[in-house]
Structure 1
Amino acid sequence: MSSVARIAGRAAPRLLRRPRLPTVASSTAVGLRWKSATPAPSGRAPALVAVAACPPHPSRLSISAWHGQAPPAAPSMAAPAADDREPTAAGAPARSPPAPPRPTLDPALLRRRNIGISAHIDSGKTTLSERVLFYTGRIRAIHEVRGKDGVGAKMDSMDLEREKGITIQSAATSATWGDADINIIDTPGHVDFTIEVERALRVLDGAVLVLCAVSGVQSQSLTVDRQMKRYRVPRITFINKLDRAGSDPARVVEQLRSKFHIAAAALQVPIGLEGDLCGIVDVITREAVYFDGPNGEEIRREAVPAEMVDAVEAARAELIETLADVDEVVGDLYLAEEPISEEQIVAAVRRATIARTFTPVLLGSALKNTGVQTLLDAVVAYLPHPGDVTNTAVLLDKGARRGRGAGTAAAAEAASAADDAAAVADEADAAAGKADDAVAAAAPELAERSFELVPDASAPLVSLAFKLEDGRFGQLTYIRVYQGVLRRGASILNVRTGKRTKVPRLVQMHSSEMTDVEAAPAGDICAMFGMECASGDTFVDAAGGPLVSLESLHVPDPVISLAITPAKRSDGGAAFAKALARFSREDPTFRVALDPESKETIISGMGELHLQIYVQRMQREYGVEVTVGAPKVNYRETVLSDASFNYVHKKQSGGSGQFAGVIGDLAPTPGGDKENVFVNKLVGNNVPPQFLPAIEKGFREACADGALTGHAVQGVTFTLRDGKAHSVDSNELAFRMASIMGFRQAYAAAGATVLEPVMRVEVAAPSEFQGGVMGGLNRRRAVILASTTHGDDVTIEAEVPLSAMFGYSTELRSGTQGKGEYSMELLEHRPAPQSEIKALQEAYEEKKMAGRKQ
């Protein structure tokens, strides 16, 4: 029976006040020591961690008696309707009141969990996924990420993933724990592949955030935290690698609270740490749990070791006090000094987790097969089923054409990039081009009327395509079903393109393997073949029902570009173009364009590794050898002040001519927003309304190429106040050209400047190399934010311009004897130094001159 759901009915001791923990550095009486020097928020004392030696194992209790039995279901509670409350850094976090009862749902739906596993790179995420698959019976043997057998982890199916020891693509599988059905998506930890995390979290109901017990909260951990908040995903935190030297789970819990600004408390206390780790104690049930057998598959439960009782009671009191801050039921009991039972603690943890005001913390070591089964228990007990989560869609106007849906920006970008790739050669994959044509033929603006989806099989189908792959049998489209049932052979409608298609084949994924299924009900995740679509497309019943669209994905802008050409002229045809078209279709952050000056193909992405992987995949999967240019930073341009424009476009060459006038101003977008905004403040009829779309289109085109360096313009507001028109010679082309030239007129007078991408960099290295590492960063124009020493290692946080980070990996390895590592993510764009702007302008002018000579 599950440790988190097995309620023995024992009441907690009456809490008159918060037990005061010892203030000494250690206590020989109970064998405890402080594991955190960081002050806890709101005056909370750090938790104690037991370091008692492992007791001998007098008996081994086989897990087979309980493995596969369902933990009793925790009370099903719904998330608060739409308050989207997140705890704040200051003050007590908002409490989650008891949720109202939900309508009766299918029992199978209540047993379903859709979860993702996310982490900073090298936190043990894929190792954890491998153990989850083993303990749930999905695989028969455990293989390591960099194992000596050369097999590799199950969820790393690509050859490149196994060679490099990193996850590149998210992988989906399903498993059964007790009577719960769990869909699992394992996501990459490297920031270059952040779109994989974005689209996974977009369709998941809950997540497991894995943190390293030594490194704690790292840069990509913060990114994942922001992504989970963006998509309102409840999470459980698993502190992994307790077996490593220097592990400090109490410090990591404090980092959770201070860096994520969320209430957190450990549900477990480790029995030993580092090399002495041999089990965990469940602080709710007050039981010691040991993981025996060759692979930790045998669970043994015993009484808490005597020397750990005080630490367990302190951790339990801290859990209850934390819950009292975020849960109304426990808060009232705590204030009334009433006893709080195990059932009430479990129910409160579930309510607060689903409300996203609290994250329960589990402990263990996936590599040492410790704590994984109890994590699975917590997934079932605390993370929501599909009926617990509120998902909304936009009801589209009945009069609207079906060529457009709401929230399809990411899909349009992917399709547009595919078109650019196809333009490289005469023969290419035309599917993405057709999708882009559909977007271009957009209907008038749609009335956005949000409504809540019901995870009910009898309701009309609503589903979202969130990931594309090209497989042996054609394009594989991953689908989350939110409402209704998706059936093999059913006719479905792509809301964005208006195309009706029959579902030829429906499969359940297990990494790279697949099993055919007849149907996928509401709340399920599956994949289908034969769909012409883009990431973010909404599918509904083709036979009728409401025309709706789901919110699409957040797609970050690329930060780095490079030129790529086939090494041999014979490779410059269909294979090269097909590879680019496929990759840009699958990955919205991978962009392809043709440089109008040099006629080179330019690929853009999230980092050097991101683009390197696609270059290698092109060589392996398509046999195309390519020549790659030096990486180039994606700068941006903007304006610093306001300027007005008054431009009249005239062209007369016999017959109908062109005439259009625009009057207005150009200014920085308020609040430092990087979006480009078009504002219509026309009064009167000097500009006929049918020409407004052409004026806005001209503004958008002008923003694509800045006048200083040719980079895209961001953060400007184009306000149209007046204009001129001619009854015969005015047309869309004339107003588009007038808008472009008016923009350039004001841009020259508005104090344009160049912005460079600045990265948040985190470097970890042995302390002996600290001076050299900081010196190297300073030479790269870094701003050092913090330097933290933990044991023999130091972690340095800095902000560094991306242009200064090229070649840093080689420098760091040579300067730390191969022991240093770093990660970075985009922080923001900031004004570049004048010397750099001047160099960029000179290079841009030379490029234009070279283009004119060709």
Structure 2
Amino acid sequence: MVVIDKLRAVMGHQERIRNIAVIAHVDHGKTTLTDSLLAKAGIISLDQAGTKLATSTREDERQKGITIKSTAVSLYYELDPVSQNTDKAPEKEAYLVNLIDSPGHVDFSSEVTAALRVADGALVVVDCISGACVQTETVLRQALMERIKPVLMINKLDRAIFETQLSPESLYRQLRTIIENVNIILATYGGEELSPVYTILHPSKGNVSFGSGLHGWGFNLKQFASMYSRKTGVKEEKYMARLWGDNFYNSETKQWSKSQEKGYERGFNKFVLEPLIQMLKATKANETEKVEKMVAKLEIKVSQEELEQEGKQLMRKVMKKWMPVADAMLDMIIGHLPSPLVAQKYRTEILYEGPLDDPAATAMKECNPNGPLMLYISKMVPSSDKGRFYAVGRVFSGTVATGQTVRIMGPDYNPGKEKNIDLFVKNIPRTVVMMAGTVLPVDDVPCGNIVGLVGIDKYLRKTGTISTYDHAHNLKVLKFSVSPVVKVAVDVVNPADLPKLVEGLKRLSKSDPMVQCTFDGGQHIVAGAGELHLEICLNDLENEYASVPIKKSAPVVNYQETVSDISDRICLAKSNNKLCRLFMTSEPLPDGLAGEMEQGTIKFDQDLKERNRHLVETYNFDLDVTKKIWCFGPNGNGPNMFVDLTKGVQYLTEIKDTLKAGFEWVTHEGVLCEEVTRGIRFNLHDAHIHSDPAHRKGSQLIPASRRCMMASMLTAKPRLLEPVYMVEVQCPSSVVGVVFNIISRKRGKIISATELDGTPLSLVRAHLPVNESFGFVGELRGNTSGQAFPQCTFDHWQLLPGDPLDNTSQAGQTVREIRQRKGLNVVIPTLDNFLDKM
């Protein structure tokens, strides 16, 4: 194990630190590859690399064979310097790589978001058989949004050689296609505005590697180029350029050509794939003499005892010695990913919410260890003390130390307010370094590093900012690519255990960046991203956080309410004292606008001119209307809008906040079944307001504005929205028909079915309502004998078929079920309950 003193010494050299996240689609080999980096750092033995899965720290991760929680580990390396002084033997340079192994399953992509916040670079892993899949695209998009620079590792090359037995040229084409596809994703999401991290991935640049995590070997072109350079004396850079792309070599004439003529062979196939395949096949087939000759020729140091091993054992031993995968990956990580000194210059502006010239932002840009402390806590990791958590985060400026007095600012902290409920001034009991399931205590941690804090989990719910600067603003809240659309009600078997359940729910909420635990309609509700996410959360709740037997309801889907037409009349509601009147209508927002409001592309508090111009040009809003938008909702930036269309109404400014409170209430609880509303524009047409302030208080006008909006929804053809998954199913072409049948039976819509080049597999894309997805994975695997592998990502909201006011329609029945579940009267209140007469 590395000595903590050495680790702490490197922490002060920001140019020698790399903070990286390993990201990929599920099952592409992230954890297996991470093992080799751990072995290189001396944390596990080299023989265990690829099979130990050291960053799988949970029992259920080992059982299911997938990563569920991201795991941080600090790795210390001593490497040969890049530029060597010929006069004396070069001293080794110490580097610190803070690595986070993140999950690939879409249900846990909130863990990826949390990991990317504290990283500066990403090692993107792609399986060379499956290629870039749906989740590869999702995690890359998240990385680019956080301004994370990527490098590419193409894994499972052994499968392409032994299982699919592709010819060298076919294999080259497949690898080239994968690199092109990843570059297309980077170009799509990484345009000009992300130029500091936008890079073209190309093997001859050295930012693409190939290998097999399971067997522990891998290479980038630099290793082959330096090997041939030593033999021939030709410069390494020249070889790098010729070992990829359309460069062909003639063995007889010793000439290179840009076009493939007779007698010419592609450089990559001739100089990289042929020796690689020969060595793999010779070692696996126990051709001892051939192996001994090749080992001697390549100057690989292998003992006689190791050469006497057989089959896969021999192959792994020789290949690990010849081209260790850790060397290829480290070469990319240190040579092509930025240090905190470089990355924070361009990341600060998208991370810091305050002015970019205040002391905190300046120190962050400079990565200054002597500046004010700015630390972002991105997740909570359970500690060995039951019910307590390490707050894990990244120090962006200053130095965090044990015993230091800091300001702990939650997501709701507002620097402008005098009294803040989300601010605590406390001492930090202990600082630690995360080491894959264990921790090492350390006195202080300077900026540019990832740190764990003990004892501050009491003050933060999930994430937050920690600073020593009195006027510091928060660092931006994490934005997830999935939403909690599936929920279950939980209860205790034994009523006496209820306090333990409540405490357990608090802990569960802390432990997962995205799970939501609420108390609604007399029930404790747990909401997650999908079936698997909920299953893991509920297991943790029962066995870990509450430690009492619990019973759970069947999973239920979150629905939302909307309207499909303009109100057929102007609705009137009077205040309780009958002295104030409000006149309103509602109508649907233009297609696409609600989505932009949810993503934050259009915000209520953004520059007014910019927002109004976008609404006029893109959505044909009237310019006068855009100037009279009062608010978005719910929660200030939701996908609904309240517009003032009145002219010359007296005392309107006095009741504006009151009406906004009514709007907030309605957008939280719609008229059909008290679900959140989406995509509705409420218009205030007129108002008669009493001149005496005593007669126009909130108690009079909030219920009146709510009733008026409810009536306007009922007169605008209300509809129910259901969430829809984008499903990608990879399966052999022979079972595509079965996949089609199952998706169609579950109200799914097939979008496309394409054959994957060079493989017997097909990729089916479809839209599937979340409500129909329960049991979908099991049914699909059962009917295709486990050959079909689905991946579901939340995609969009769509109208549920039928009129919710008609009890016989599907929407009507769903509304009744939701109302029953919430303990409401199953019959939707009629218009007369809300609408007043003149």
Q: Same fold (TM over 0.5)?
A: yes
The 5 A counterparts of 1:747-786 are 747-780=713-746, 781-786=748-753
Instruction: Name the residue aligned to 2:557.
Output: 633
Instruction: Name the residue aligned to 2:178.
Output: 252
Is the 8 Å Cα contact of residues 781 and 787 (structure 2) preserved in structure 1? yes
Instruction: Name the residue aligned to 1:822.
Output: 790
SS in 2 for 1:771: helix
Instruction: Name the residue aligned to 2:59.
Output: 159
SS in 2 for 1:249: helix
User: Are 1:712 and 2:679 counterparts?
Assistant: no
Structure 1 residue identity aligned to 2:813: E
The 5 A counterparts of 1:237-636 are 237-244=152-159, 245-246=163-164, 248-261=174-187, 263-267=200-204, 280=219, 282=221, 286-288=225-227, 303=231, 313-316=241-244, 370-389=324-343, 390-392=346-348, 453-473=365-385, 474-495=388-409, 496=413, 497-531=422-456, 532-541=459-468, 544-555=469-480, 556-571=482-497, 573-596=498-521, 599-621=522-544, 622-636=546-560
* Offset from partner CA, 1:87-129 (integer Å, 9 cap, x none): xxxxxxxxxxxxxxxxxx9970111111100111100001111
Is the 8 Å Cα contact of residues 281 and 287 (structure 1) preserved in structure 2? no
Instruction: Name the residue aligned to 1:792.
Output: 760
The 5 A counterparts of 1:145-156 are 152-156=52-56
* Offset from partner CA, 1:254-311 (integer Å, 9 cap, x none): 222334436332246989999999764625972349xxxxxxxxxxx965999x9999
Following superposition, the deviation at residue 190 of structure 1 comes to 0.7
Following superposition, the deviation at residue 702 of structure 1 comes to 1.1
Structure 2 residue identity aligned to 1:642: I
User: Are 1:842 and 2:813 counterparts?
Assistant: yes
* Offset from partner CA, 1:184-232 (integer Å, 9 cap, x none): 1111111111111111112211111111111011111111011012112
Instruction: Name the residue aligned to 1:61.
Output: none
Distance 2:114 2:49 in 1: 26
Following superposition, the deviation at residue 511 of structure 1 comes to 1.6
Structure 2 residue identity aligned to 1:752: P
Q: Which ranges of structure 1 fall in alignment gaps of 5 or more residues?
A: 1-68, 71-104, 290-300, 320-363, 397-404, 408-446, 653-657
- TM-aligned CA distance change 1:122 to 1:723, over 3 Å: same
Structure 2 residue identity aligned to 1:559: V
Structure 2 residue identity aligned to 1:706: G
1:134 to 26, 39, 43: 39
- TM-aligned CA distance change 1:239 to 1:304, over 3 Å: farther
Distance 1:493 1:706 in 2: 39
* Offset from partner CA, 1:422-452 (integer Å, 9 cap, x none): xxxxxxxxxxxxxxxxxxxxxxxxx9x9876
1:206 to 112, 121, 124: 121
Instruction: Name the residue aligned to 1:351.
Output: none
Instruction: Name the residue aligned to 1:328.
Output: none
SS in 2 for 1:286: helix
Distance 2:447 2:214 in 1: 46
Structure 2 residue identity aligned to 1:668: P
Is the 8 Å Cα contact of residues 759 and 828 (structure 1) preserved in structure 2? yes
Q: Which ranges of structure 2 fall in alignment gaps of 5 or more residues?
A: 1-5, 80-93, 165-170, 189-199, 248-314, 414-421, 598-638, 827-838
Instruction: Name the residue aligned to 1:295.
Output: none
Structure 1 residue identity aligned to 2:667: C
Tell me how many residue pairs correspond in the alignment: 634
The 5 A counterparts of 1:212-231 are 212-231=127-146
Distance 1:303 1:779 in 2: 63
Following superposition, the deviation at residue 393 of structure 1 comes to 6.3
Following superposition, the deviation at residue 456 of structure 1 comes to 0.2
Following superposition, the deviation at residue 607 of structure 1 comes to 0.1
Following superposition, the deviation at residue 694 of structure 1 comes to 3.5
Distance 2:216 2:32 in 1: 18
Is the 8 Å Cα contact of residues 130 and 142 (structure 1) preserved in structure 2? no
* Offset from partner CA, 1:630-659 (integer Å, 9 cap, x none): 22222222223334755444225xxxxx96
Following superposition, the deviation at residue 183 of structure 1 comes to 0.9
Following superposition, the deviation at residue 618 of structure 1 comes to 1.9
Larger displacement relative to structure 2 (114-123 or 531-540): 531-540
Is the 8 Å Cα contact of residues 127 and 367 (structure 1) preserved in structure 2? no
Structure 1 residue identity aligned to 2:695: D
Structure 2 residue identity aligned to 1:486: V
SS in 1 for 2:366: coil
Following superposition, the deviation at residue 679 of structure 1 comes to 4.2
Is the 8 Å Cα contact of residues 281 and 304 (structure 1) preserved in structure 2? no
Whichever structure has more helix as a proportion of its residues is 2
- TM-aligned CA distance change 1:511 to 1:232, over 3 Å: same
- TM-aligned CA distance change 1:131 to 1:559, over 3 Å: same
Cα RMSD for the two superposed structures: 3.9
1:668 to 572, 579, 588: 588
* Offset from partner CA, 1:226-255 (integer Å, 9 cap, x none): 101211211111111111134632221122
- TM-aligned CA distance change 1:567 to 1:839, over 3 Å: farther
Structure 1 residue identity aligned to 2:810: A
Is the 8 Å Cα contact of residues 111 and 513 (structure 2) preserved in structure 1? no
* Offset from partner CA, 1:334-374 (integer Å, 9 cap, x none): xxxxxxxxxxxxxxxxxxxxxxxxxxxxxx99997553311
1:168 to 59, 65, 68: 68
SS in 1 for 2:423: coil
Following superposition, the deviation at residue 794 of structure 1 comes to 2.6
Distance 1:180 1:525 in 2: 14
